[in-house]
Structure 1
């Protein structure tokens, strides 16, 4: 199971892994926590349009990676609000994630890195971790970086134990699929730094094994 704060994080962070799993016939479930609406002060019509656009882009990208629409969930929390959920909203979100975990019984759970330099990303890690505890299931919790390497000096952000738990995974055989999936996110890539996108077009993905 892959948990993604926004529509595109799953492809940037672990699109190659998703494609490889699917090529080997491994079921992959993807859950998006926010609706991707962007700035909270944007006009409602624009927000509605971008929400629908990003949802369709996600379906297209994941189809390229081999994930069927029936395996994709949208929790549709307001973009940018995950760290600021009320206690009731937080409990509700954890309950939704817990239900998905219990339903699908994954062996591996992929989440953004706990220090990914983005509030929604770091909140996603915490929400999923709490849901795993509530679900009382045994899983490998694997963290994927999105903004970590772009926004922060690595040695200042990570402990030696974090670095020791790092694994580079070759995605050469599905690299083209990942590149095409990234290209599906038209509404996002026009606003992202070119160097940022370039960092995800290579033949390897980096993961961190989480201990909790």
Structure 2
């Protein structure tokens, strides 16, 4: 049995409220420790950016502050959503379509707060939850779509979820984007943003010392209010997320992990 499977079995044995308290404490302590001891500060670069987000809200949680800071300097930021964000909504087709449209509009609203124009937002609309299981033909088509966007915009920095983010769509996004960068034949700085990693992964079990050594943190204090308002724009989703989970993203720093592109 894998480490992830052991963790999932353990989580089933702990009462839900206690589990959330433990995860909130762990996430907060780990984030604080990495900022204070395990990483180095970085200054905002003036490089153009492309953000790849598996779902509508990951981009704001993970790097909304960076996006807002870049846009205040009129630095190009392109955001691409890979899935339609329907999640585990009502299985009825009409309800699913409604959820997809609601979340798409929420993404547009959130990114408008952060300074990104609708024309700079792309929706690939792959079914939510299917990215790791794409058949080879669809996987290659998806990589080609991503590569075409990369070649069109030629970003200098690319942001993706962490490769160990404890969410199958998130980890699959990392792999798809890596393959697309290789296919596009461009040189970019690849940065990973954590969403579920600190919440679900005990230190030194999934997050190893080499991972931590690649961490940097960016101060987003001047745009903290913008990011929090953008998070609030996802009103159809935030009510279903643990409050402690959301709280972790409301602070004055964002953590990124560098990786080789």
TM-score (norm 2): 0.80
2:108 maps to 1:59: yes
Which residue is equivalent to 1:34? 83
- 1:115 corresponds, among 164, 179, 196, to 164
Which residue is equivalent to 2:99? 50
Deviation, 1:161, is 1.5
Q: Secondary structure at the match of 1:109?
A: strand
* Superimposed CA distance per residue, residues 131-163 of structure 1 (whole angstroms, 9 cap, x where no aligned partner): 000000000000000000011112211222111
* Superimposed CA distance per residue, residues 17-74 of structure 1 (whole angstroms, 9 cap, x where no aligned partner): 0000001110000000000011287111111010000000000000000000000000
d(CA) in 1 for partners of 2:89, 2:199: 24
Q: What does 1:147-186 correspond to in 2, within 5 Å?
A: 147-186=196-235
- 1:105 corresponds, among 154, 157, 170, to 154
* Superimposed CA distance per residue, residues 114-144 of structure 1 (whole angstroms, 9 cap, x where no aligned partner): 0000000000000000000000000000000
- 1:95 corresponds, among 129, 144, 153, to 144
Q: What does 1:8-27 correspond to in 2, within 5 Å?
A: 8-27=57-76
Pairs aligned (count) = 212
TM-score (norm 1): 0.98
Q: Secondary structure at the match of 2:165?
A: coil
Structure number, greater radius of gyration:
2
- 2:255 corresponds, among 203, 206, 211, to 206
Which residue is equivalent to 2:241? 192
C-alpha contact (below 8 Å) 2:201/2:207 kept by paired residues? no
RMSD of aligned Cα (Å): 0.9
d(CA) in 2 for partners of 1:177, 1:101: 27
- Structure 1's unaligned 5+ residue stretches are none
d(CA) in 2 for partners of 1:50, 1:40: 7
- 2:123 corresponds, among 74, 83, 106, to 74
